[in-house]
Amino acid sequence: MKKKLIRLLELLIVLSAAFIMTACGKIELTADDFVEFTDEGYDGIGTSKAEFDYKEMLKDVRDKMKDERYSSAKKILKNVKLKPEVAEKVSNGQTVTFEWDIDEDDIKELEDECKLIVKFNDLEHKVKGLTPLNEVDLFQNLSISYSGYNTIGTIYYWYGESYVEYTFDKTENLSNGDTVTVTASLDSWYRDSYTDLNAFMAQRGEKPASLTTQIVVEGLTELKEYSPFSSISMMYSGMDGAGEAAIATDWSDSYYYNWEYSIDKKDTLSNGDVITVTAAAYDGTPIDEYAAKYYGLKITEVQKQFTVEGLVVLAGTVADIVPEGLEALTVAGKNAIIDMVGGWTVTELVSIEKLGTVLGYEKDYWYDDKYIPYVYVIYRVTTHNDTDGDVTFYWYANCSNGVLSDTGSLMIDPASSYDTPLNHYSSWWGVSGEAFYGPDGSLFYVGFETLESLYKTRFEDRGLMIKENTADTGLDAEVLFPENTEGETAAEGTEGN
């Protein structure tokens, strides 16, 4: 019974050994049995290491090997490695494969010379025991505020994490209710040392709960509705048909100084005309943007139309002139021409034509709202002398003492006063004013060489507002001299027109 017990113990010892003796006296081992795994660090950035304990392997077979075989085996096995030596950035539950790094010749030498058969199989290791990363809310300490007015609000922030750079997909022109996305990234101070924010936080044992968050804009002050036209009114002056428009300002409006106004039509206005006024910011910025940004105002209109009214309505056509007065002026001018040429010693009168009538108004020098009516009868005069031959020139008779009746007719009294070129020339030291030299240069003629020069001197240069000019249409043209008993009219149109 004792012998059987001893044999049983010997059998158990053999079965528990890490090696197996083959029939040919070789020792057979499995290298996997002598590998130890070590997992360290934080989950997701941990390391896994596999170490081969060749000394432990040889310790088990030391007493079965001769010295020289043992030394040779030790020399080979001490250089056996596993690849990778260290697996990095591993996570719990991850499987890492390790491969043996040993030459086939060394394996053969172990078997042939050292009588040691070692099996080297790739190892698969499941990582475990890494410390979990602490999840951090990168936005919990981020303080955000809004300033400005609804639709043009601005976002500001401070605090947050010192190693985080926060970016916003929208920071200006914000409205209440807008959603803004905030993104966290690694601050530029650390980018030379770490690839990204995750890497930086991992070495602290942390990870971001999220790299983005969304916030909703609120609390911006509502814009106040405002019309830039509430601080202005329109002023109209002048005569109907030749009126002018200007802007009158309400100086009590504190915003007025920020605006500039333009009028699409300022002059030659008539009652009932519609003009458009446009408002703009003085610095060229769009007015709605400027008003909102600096004053919290919501511009309700940038253009407004106004209807012209209140212009002085005066006699509008030549037909409004009382016929008796116009006829008296026509005759007075004709007689003045006859008397003038009759006083020239070498020149005789050939003809006098009435080209037409000009009705206009001139603003009174003393009173802005008063207009002086002018009635001009325009003549074409032809004379003859041996020096210059036929000379044609232009003349006028003007009456400015008209009175506008309640019915709109204009009464003039040339018997009281009228004007002609005879009152506006000088022959001292040459001819000047409303006179000119003839072709020869020795004789001068009182009047105008061209109709255009008469218009410029009497109308344009004086700023006369013309209501009607029949001299350009020939509507009331007629031959005045020599007398035309058959009522023949002058040819329509005028020289130079």
399-412 pLDDT tens trace: 988 876 656 678 88
Confidence of residue 177 (pLDDT cuts 50, 70, 90): very high
**Spatial separation of the C-alpha atoms in residues 171 and 114, rounded to whole Å:** 76
Average pLDDT over residues 37-51: 91
**CA 106 from centroid of its chain's CA atoms:** 79
Pull the structure tokens for residue 339: 């008397």
Confidence of residue 62 (pLDDT cuts 50, 70, 90): confident
Average pLDDT over residues 20-40: 79
End-to-end CA separation in angstroms for the chain: 157
Q: Is there a cis peptide before residue 286, judged by omega within 30 degrees of 0?
A: no
Torsion region of 447: left, alpha or beta (phi above 0 gives left; psi -120 to 50 gives alpha): left
Confidence of residue 419 (pLDDT cuts 50, 70, 90): very high
Least confident of 127-136, 143-152, 344-353, 468-477: 468-477
Least confident of 107-116, 184-193, 296-305: 107-116
Confidence of residue 493 (pLDDT cuts 50, 70, 90): very low
Q: Which of the pair, 389 or 289, is modelled with greater confidence?
A: 389
pLDDT for res 484:
58
Confidence of residue 73 (pLDDT cuts 50, 70, 90): confident
Q: Is there a cis peptide before residue 228, judged by omega within 30 degrees of 0?
A: no
Q: Which of the pair, 154 or 249, is modelled with greater confidence?
A: 154
Pull the structure tokens for residue 39: 């997992």
By residue count, the chain amounts to: 497
Least confident of 12-16, 208-212, 429-433: 12-16
Pull the structure tokens for residue 176: 């209440």
pLDDT for residue 25 is more than 70: no
pLDDT for residue 20 is more than 80: no
Q: Which of the pair, 348 or 112, is modelled with greater confidence?
A: 348
pLDDT for res 353:
97
